[in-house]
Amino acid sequence: MDAREVSVLQLQLLVLKIPTESVAVPMDAKAQTEIIDLMARILMAVFQAEGGTVDARDTVQSQD
């Protein structure tokens, strides 16, 4: 087992030890829309930086 595998294993074990709680934060519709827009922009920037292409004909419609 090399150092990288040991580090990954340690991180996996650490995650098991740290309790995680989901806490809902109240948010108005405008803030929610802005956050979703920001997340979409970040995803597109990463996608394009990784060599992906964007075609407007292939847009995904919202499920909401």
pLDDT value, residue 64: 57
CA separation for the pair 44, 32 (Å, rounded): 18
3: confidence class by pLDDT, cuts 50, 70, 90: confident
Encode pLDDT of 10-57 as tens digits: 888 877 776 767 778 888 999 989 999 999 999 888 888 888 766 655
Among 20, 19, 59, 16, smallest CA distance to 40 is for 59
The full set of domain ranges for the chain reads 25-55
Q: Is the pTM of this model over 0.85?
A: no
- Assess contact for 8 and 1: CB atoms under 8 A: no
Is a pLDDT exceeding 70 seen at residue 62? no
